[in-house]
Amino acid sequence: METTSRNSAEAPALKAAATRDRILAAAARTLSLKGYSATRLADIAEQAGLRPPAVYYYFPSREELIAEVMTVGQLRLREHVESALTALPDDTPPMDRICAAVEAHLRVELDLSDFATAVSRNSGQLPEDIRDRLRADSSAYFDLWRDLLVKARAAGAVRDDIDLRAARMLVMGALNWTPEWWNPRQGSLTGVIRTAQSLVRHGLGAL
């Protein structure tokens, strides 16, 4: 966004941007808790402390608002996993890189971002037009995982009986389904991460 010089128009513009962000955050929260079909505009408005018609001042429709939440969520998921990978030393073995991606995915989805949770829970439920618009973003994320697995296989770290595409999608499913069952009252996030990493490391690994 551009930096503007301070003037009398600035305060209302900032306030509008803040309100818009609040609506997006409220939509992400509601989607992450209730799922796509049960998410009503009235719930989002209530969560944002607004009356429902006010939402239409910022977003043309419920669908547009949800599409934006999904776009942001997809991006946060990917960026978080990418930064976790970038932070690793260059000589990190490929299976350790995969395990770092498992951890980053679970942390952003279960702990850090309602936007990412909204994506994991709802990507299979969207109407075709929203799904089409999200396809490029989600395929960038799938590409990241494909690349991790291809490099691991090239390094001899993945067993020969593993079909890489099936393995990638099974792992994505295991990770993406966690918001359906995990909650902090029933066990630590670290425990889930350790079990998921061990499953993936031994599940794929040529040990």
The yes or no reply on residue 163 touching a second copy (CB under 8 A) is: yes
Tokens of 76: 């946060």
Min separation Cβ 163 and a second copy, Å: 4
Beta bridge partners of 205: 158
Nearer to a second copy, 113 or 178 (CB): 178
x/- track of binding to a second copy for residues 183-202 (CB under 8 A): ---xx---xx-xxx-xxx-x
x/- track of binding to a second copy for residues 10-39 (CB under 8 A): -------------------------xxxx-
The yes or no reply on residue 110 touching a second copy (CB under 8 A) is: no
For 39-68, give the DSSP string.
--HHHHHHHHTS-HHHHHHH-S-HHHHHHH
Min separation Cβ 74 and a second copy, Å: 15
Task: Classify residue 37 by its DSSP letter.
Answer: T
Min separation Cβ 90 and a second copy, Å: 28
Burial class (CB in 10 A: 0-12, 13-18, 19+), 102: buried
Contact residues for 114 (Cβ-Cβ < 8 A; gap 6+):
25, 28, 29, 31, 32
Q: How many CB atoms lie within 10 A of CB 40?
A: 13
Nearer to a second copy, 21 or 129 (CB): 129
Residues that bind a second copy (CB under 8 A): 35-38, 121-125, 127-128, 159, 161-163, 165-167, 169-178, 180-182, 186-187, 191-192, 194-196, 198-200, 202-205, 207
